[in-house]
């Protein structure tokens, strides 16, 4: 990995019911539950992390399940679709599985020469399973029902819907190291060559579409991957030098983060590979304990009492 942004680190979205969210991602989609913790800014709410075996960056979708949150909707200034990479020949399995589990899904379609199967999670979050043109060598997490010939490999892409392209393109190309690969009408594909997977950002330019509402069933932010906190802080300088506001370094226990809102309205994060999810649980036990950051450990009993039931 280079000393540059290496594609996506994680994507964070908002859910309603916690148990419904957990069951959908682990049972229906076969993701590994890599960490059960709380929202560090709101410890009465869970923060769930789903990914592959180790929760390596580029595979990790995270949720804040807020039990009584209103329904959100997509619009401009948001990440409006998540693309997961799946093996060639697996889309029929997934279409059948979505029928079996009553998952809302649509017909297959092709975009930039790749097959997409679009569906929604129980809160209406929009996801596409994508068969990438290039073989995806990442090792998937497998379950009894979802074997390696169909299991997701991690992210393929994220799609941002924007009023106009220029301000966001300036960030993607001028700071994050992406370049334009293709354009079809109002769809633009940006890619970084710094890594082979989870390296695509698609833009949909929709000047007449109103802003979205960031609540249940929508994405909260998109995190880009850097190797460690030294490189993270180099990026902090870079973002500041371009005239954008950015947070100080924040310790998220499993990675270090910076947040800035790109001028098209999407909340971006930069997040490190270190220290990773095995910081406080062994690889075998990932996701099996409620892990709290140090500042909340003394309040564990009260926190456990208010968190929603997952059984």
Phi, psi torsion values for 271, nearest 5 degrees: -140, 150
Q: How far is the CB of 20 from Zn ion (least distance, A)?
A: 22
Q: Is 34 in the site for Zn ion (CB under 5 A)?
A: no
Q: How far is the CB of 144 from Zn ion (least distance, A)?
A: 30
User: What is the DSSP-derived secondary structure letter of residue 188?
Assistant: E
Of the pair 8, 150, the CB lying nearest Zn ion is at: 8
Of the pair 9, 105, the CB lying nearest Zn ion is at: 9
Question: Contact 310/19 with Cβ under 8 angstroms?
Answer: yes
Phi, psi torsion values for 209, nearest 5 degrees: -85, 130
Strand intervals (E) in the chain: 8-15, 32-39, 42-51, 60-65, 78-85, 109-111, 114-120, 126-131, 154-162, 179-184, 187-191, 200-205, 219-226, 250-251, 255-261, 267-275
Q: Find all residues with CB under 8 Å of 240, minimum gap 6, and list them.
A: 246
Out of 34, 38, 223, 267, point to the residue binding Zn ion (CB under 5 A): 223
In this chain, which stretch among 4-12, 107-115, 176-184, 202-210 interacts with Zn ion, using CB under 5 A? 4-12
Q: Is 269 in the site for Zn ion (CB under 5 A)?
A: yes
Report how far residue 259's alpha carbon sits from residue 220's, in angstroms, rounded to the nearest whole number.
12
Report how far residue 130's alpha carbon sits from residue 155's, in angstroms, rounded to the nearest whole number.
9
Of the pair 117, 232, the CB lying nearest Zn ion is at: 232
Of the pair 84, 119, the CB lying nearest Zn ion is at: 84
Instruction: Give the number of residues written for the chain.
Output: 311
Q: Is 12 in the site for Zn ion (CB under 5 A)?
A: yes
Of the pair 71, 247, the CB lying nearest Zn ion is at: 247
Of the pair 12, 168, the CB lying nearest Zn ion is at: 12
Q: How far is the CB of 102 from Zn ion (least distance, A)?
A: 30
Q: How far is the CB of 105 from Zn ion (least distance, A)?
A: 27
Q: Is 273 in the site for Zn ion (CB under 5 A)?
A: no
In this chain, which stretch among 108-116, 182-190, 198-206, 261-269 interacts with Zn ion, using CB under 5 A? 261-269
Q: How far is the CB of 11 from Zn ion (least distance, A)?
A: 8
Q: How far is the CB of 276 from Zn ion (least distance, A)?
A: 14
Q: How far is the CB of 10 from Zn ion (least distance, A)?
A: 6
Report how far residue 230's alpha carbon sits from residue 234's, in angstroms, rounded to the nearest whole number.
6
In this chain, which stretch among 68-76, 105-113, 125-133, 269-277 interacts with Zn ion, using CB under 5 A? 269-277
CA atoms within 13 Å, Cβ hemisphere of 206: 18
Residue numbers at the binding site for Zn ion (CB under 5 A): 12, 223, 269
């Amino acid at each position: 990995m280079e000393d540059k942004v290496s594609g996506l680190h994680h994507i964070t979205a908002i859910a309603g019911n916690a148990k419904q969210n957990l069951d959908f991602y682990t049972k229906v989609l076969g993701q590994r539950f890599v960490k059960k913790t709380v929202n560090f800014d709101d410890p009465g709410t869970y923060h769930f992390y789903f990914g592959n075996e180790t929760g390596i960056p580029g595979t990790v979708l995270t949720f804040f399940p807020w039990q009584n949150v209103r329904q959100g909707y997509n619009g401009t200034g948001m990440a409006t679709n998540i693309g997961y990479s799946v093996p060639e020949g697996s889309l029929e399995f997934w279409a059948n599985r979505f029928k079996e589990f009553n998952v809302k899904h649509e017909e297959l379609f092709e975009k930039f020469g790749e097959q997409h199967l679009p569906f929604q999670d129980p809160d209406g979050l929009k996801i596409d399973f994508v068969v990438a043109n290039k073989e995806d060598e990442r090792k998937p997490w497998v379950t009894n029902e979802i074997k390696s010939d169909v299991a997701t490999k991690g992210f393929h892409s994220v799609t941002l819907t924007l009023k106009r392209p220029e301000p966001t393109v300036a960030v993607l190309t001028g700071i994050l190291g992406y370049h334009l690969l293709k354009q079809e009408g109002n769809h633009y594909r940006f890619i970084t060559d710094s890594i082979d997977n989870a390296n695509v950002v698609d833009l949909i330019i929709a000047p007449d579409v109103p802003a979205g509402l960031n609540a249940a069933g929508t994405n909260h932010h998109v995190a880009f991957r850097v190797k460690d906190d030294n490189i993270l802080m180099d990026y902090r300088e870079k973002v500041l030098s371009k005239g954008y506001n950015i947070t100080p370094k924040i310790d998220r226990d499993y990675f270090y983060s910076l947040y800035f809102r790109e001028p098209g309205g999407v909340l971006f994060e930069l997040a490190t590979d270190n220290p990773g999810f095995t910081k406080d649980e062994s690889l075998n036990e990932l996701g099996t304990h409620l892990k709290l950051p140090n500042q909340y450990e003394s309040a564990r009993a009260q926190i456990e009492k208010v968190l929603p039931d997952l059984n």
